[in-house]
Amino acid sequence: MAEKTNTEIFLPLTFNKYKENKINLLKVQLKTVNGIERIKKLESLRKLKSEQRHLLKTIIKEIKQSHQKLLKSLPKAEETKTHKIDSKRIETHKMPTQREYQTNSRIDEELDRIQEKLKNLKL
């Protein structure tokens, strides 16, 4: 007949060994808790990052819209008049200086036409 083997394990524990095992177990638990806290912090930082990205995108959209409005409000190249050159300078074939150039906008042109019509009416 075969003898039955004893599968029970007997571990003699001394108080020092028990303390050492308990300390190791507490260290593992502490590392686990610290890891979970790090994961929570990382998740909150990820959420903050996505909120900041969203805010940045809205700010960029607003800047683009205000830039487009500004570009639309500026006068076009056709609306500005070319430079007037003094006729005396043309006769002497000298290039005019920067001060002798005069730029007029569309409003100035209309004012000049109105003034000419008023002069013609007075005659």
* % of the chain residues with pLDDT over 90: 38
Split at pLDDT 50, 70, 90, the class of 114 is confident
Which band of pLDDT confidence, cut at 50, 70 and 90, is reported for residue 80?
low
Torsion sign over Cα 106, 110, 115, 119: positive
Does the model's pTM come out above 0.85?
no
Query: Confidence class of residue 89 from pLDDT cuts 50, 70 and 90?
Result: low
Rounded mean pLDDT of the chain?
79
Q: What are phi and psi of 77, to 5 degrees?
A: -65, -30
Q: Provide the pLDDT for residue 82.
A: 56
CB contact burial 48-79 (16+ within 10 A = b; e otherwise): eeeeeeeeeeeeeeeeeeeeeeeeeeeeeeee
90-102 core/surface letters (b: 16 or more CB in 10 A; e: else): eeeeeeeeeeeee
